[in-house]
Amino acid sequence: MKCRRCGEETFLPFQCPYCGDQFCTAHRLPEAHDCPRMDNARIKRWGDTSVIIQKPTSYEYSITYGAPRQARGRVHFSQKELKHIAIGTLLVIGISLSFSFDYIGTSSWFIAFSAVAAIITSSFLTHEIAHKITAQWRGLWAEFRLTRWGAILTFISILLPFKIISPGAVMIAGYAHMEEIGKISIAGPATNIVLSTLFLGLTFASVPYYWIFAIGAFFNGYIAVFNLIPVGLLDGYKIFLWNKKVWATAFIISLALAMMSYYAYYFY
């Protein structure tokens, strides 16, 4: 979500209790964002009772951290969110096409493209929706949004051997404890770990078109490893702050799955 004052992307914005808009840390106070209801803020802060009330009041000033809690267990998709998901899905399908370049012109190309597109797209959506459902289940506002550079890098990587598959992310707002943030963050990589394990099992079972499942196993392992890097706004940073043992366990498992699926695709 963007700060209404400076436009900066803010993971957990502050909500002004007077005007109701969302702001970054630097502009959270009414004075910092030229709050249109500054008079009310001053009345509450300094006890100026000449206009509103007839008796002295104590100093009372509070700021809610992000949006207020919503009904727990309610999962909702807005029209704007569905549009962003649709565009993100098209970009991910483009990544799927790049995995099947080697089979263009062969009789198995359409099967390869369709299967890879289905596996990779469903894996991407499962990761993001896992974040969303976990957050909304706790009463937080959570919706998927495209990010400018994420979408651009995902589009460019269609033609590159190194894939960056991050057209957007689930934006979350509302007051949350560190444990809640950690559990919301681990939900996405956890789904990729489960899917990577499943696809790797199908690969080593030598089912028909096993190499397609090897791609699915590698994709999910790679996405889990990338998102678990403990830097910036990635899931790994928030998980690391919450519980280092959980982070280390998830990262080691994801890395092992990515390495095994890479071996399975190229050497099995």
| Full set of structural domains in the chain with CATH | 1-66 (4.10.1110), 80-267 (no CATH)
Using pLDDT thresholds of 50, 70 and 90, give the confidence band for residue 158.
confident
Residue 102 has pLDDT above 50, yes or no: yes
User: Which of 9-13, 150-154, 259-263 shows the lowest mean pLDDT across its residues?
Assistant: 9-13
State phi, psi for 204 to the nearest 5 degrees: -75, -15
Q: How many CB atoms neighbour CB 100 within 10 A?
A: 21
pLDDT at res. 100:
62
Q: What's this model's pTM, rounded to 2 decimal places?
A: 0.68
Q: Report how far residue 35's alpha carbon sits from residue 86's, in angstroms, rounded to the nearest whole number.
A: 36
Cβ–Cβ < 8 Å for 173, 12: yes
pLDDT at res. 101:
61
| pLDDT tens, residue by residue, 10-43 | 766 777 777 777 877 777 777 777 777 765 555 4
Q: What is the mean pLDDT of the chain?
A: 80
